[in-house]
Amino acid sequence: MASEEQLNGVKGSKVLMVGAGGIGCELLKTLVLSGFQDIHIIDMDTIEVSNLNRQFLFRQFHVGQSKAKVARDAVLKFRPHIKITPYHANVKDPDFNVDFFKQFNVVLNGLDNLDARRHVNRLCLAADVPLVESGTTGFLGQVTVHVKGKTECYECQPKPAPKSYPVCTITSTPSKFVHCIVWAKDLLFAKLFGDKNQENDLNVRSSDAAGSSEPAEDVFERKTDEKIEQYGRRIFDHVFGYNIEVALSNEETWKNRNRPKPIYSRDVLSDELIQPNGDVEKGTTDDLASLSAMTSIGLKNPQEIWSLKENSKVFLEALKLFFVKREKDIGNLSFDKDDQLAVELVTAAANIRAASFGIPLHSLFEAKGIAGNIVHAVATTNAVIAGLIVIEAIKVLQRDASNYRMTYCLEHPSRKMLLMPVEPFEPNKSCYVCSETPLSLEINTHRSKLRDFVEKIVKAKLGMNFPLIMHGSALLYEVGDDLDEDMVANYAANLEKVLSELPSPVKNGTILTVEDLQQELVCNINIKHREEFDEEKEPDGMLLSGWTQATQPENENAKSVGNGESASDASHVVAVELEENNEIVEVPAEIPAAKKRKSSDLLEDPRSSITRIPETNYNKKVEELDEDDEDLVMLDDDEVLEIGKRIKSQ
């Protein structure tokens, strides 16, 4: 039973909650029922139909409205006297700066992406406000506590980079269904319906122009007065037929690979026309979300695997529906997993390409999971994790540091426990965020531009939003609304210069200082010139290092357990990654909750050899992984993580 002092501490606290989705709905409910009376909520999302199966504060009539505002209104119905302040905004907006964070006693995260998590972590460090982080996927989840100077920060352990694929693999030699999905989603869909001026690795030359010296017209451009059926078949024949023949012309490529088979529409559909169920030309376009190619041609079950003929029909029908019903959107579309028609077209295109390369076909349900990085959420897990967040928040408010716990929710019992509490790690002394450890960057200073450094390192790797880059006292780059036109033009010019030709040249041995004023984060980067990079292993043409976790001795007796197998009868490590990209935290079952895990203990803990879920549907039998197979599986809509298990020798 809570004491009077504890209850007063809870009632008098001011809490910031970031995220009002799967975890957020449960968390807000638990907070108000636990006595918290001053809660602020930030969430930039609006409610979608797919949220309603687990985000219980929302109803059908709320679809399209702000999550933060609707959550507030729903809770006030049963706790009308508390204060809840909603913000329908991005937590990275300038208004939510360090001074804003300083007004809170604790920050509680229920986010769905790495970028926002890192941003909140840095603001909490700068404001010296404790952070309680969380995430779930299926039956797995975790809650971690981050207090400046006492525990590791969210970024003390490096996050694995999202899986990327070489362009040549995607365009020429796919070997997995995920390669076909990436091709269909990021190349074909983008070329058909996205910005026509964007660079694209699809071959856009037609077979008629292949041998001509005349400039070739873009085959994806629909000709004047060309019927949509003719256009669809022309696109089909080009991408699934002619482009495959072009690829086959390079004999060297197929010496040790299975040769693909070109597929033309006449071979699959003969001269028959697709007969839709109803007249596509008629009817209103008000409910664009209900457009469905599979329904139009009479297919009903999204979990059935379509034949090659059915995939071809779906592809042509989806293409037709886009041009007939959504022509105004063409040129501005990007793939959205909640866009039924887009998912159908991508599924059909990926399956046709898979058939060409001898890759097993997948159902619409499976393909959507791969294309949208989906693992379906479990509402009960969200509720358990929300309760654990509140427990840790109360400890933080009481400054009960000795009882802080990182708690992991497991799918299978380990040591007869489904909830595994472990004392937090101490700060990682090599962390560039909370320990300000310098980083090292290998880069070709004679070829790489400042723009490459800003986009690929400062923003993508370091997560800075408003960077300032200095070489000694020379300011090379800065962003901000208060810059005059001459400064903006000067920095824009610098972006297009190679590093060695900047006004203050960057070369081997240069130390660059990178700062984000909003996050109040400063990082020093030692530049090392390097001539060549491996295009397959180092596609960015640069290598950032120096930000590492403690190394561990190899365990020759260790072995991995695939997802779906129970490891409850052995000592093991559960790795949980939070977000599209991103955190792996491992919990050795053999360490009792009462044992303090200090920095020195990290040398004893296995933090490698993670077995990951491949790109199959989560409830299918897991395929055997290649040595370097690191395909990422993410949560539907709210939280994302990666799961792995490793057996330790007993």
DSSP, res 101: H
The dihedrals phi and psi of 417, each to the nearest 5 degrees, come to -125, 140
Give yes or no: 180 in active site.
no
Angstrom distance (rounded) from CA 335 to CA 65: 22
Residue numbers in the known binding site for ATP are 19-24, 43, 51-54, 67, 112-117
Residue numbers in the known binding site for Zn(2+) are 153, 156, 431, 434
> Nearest-CA neighbor of 172 among 247, 242, 241?
247
CB atoms within 10 A of CB 48: 15
> Nearest-CA neighbor of 424 among 395, 444, 449, 382?
395
Angstrom distance (rounded) from CA 638 to CA 378: 11
Question: Is 393 within 8 Å of 381 (Cβ atoms)?
Answer: no
3-state secondary structure 12-62: CCCEEEECCCHHHHHHHHHHHHCCCCEEEEECCCECCHHHCCCCCCCCHHH
The CB-side HSE value for 448 (13 A sphere, CA atoms) comes to 27
Distances (CA, A) of 599 to 189, 545, 554: 48, 20, 18
Strands 106-109, 15-18: pairing kind: parallel
- 13 CB contacts (<8 Å, ≥6 apart)? 36, 38, 105, 106, 397
Residue numbers in the known binding site are 19-24, 43, 51-54, 67, 112-117, 153, 156, 431, 434
Catalytic residue among 25, 168, 409, 523: 168
Question: Is 109 within 8 Å of 134 (Cβ atoms)?
Answer: yes
Sign of CA dihedral 264, 270, 273, 276: negative
Residues assigned a catalytic role = 168
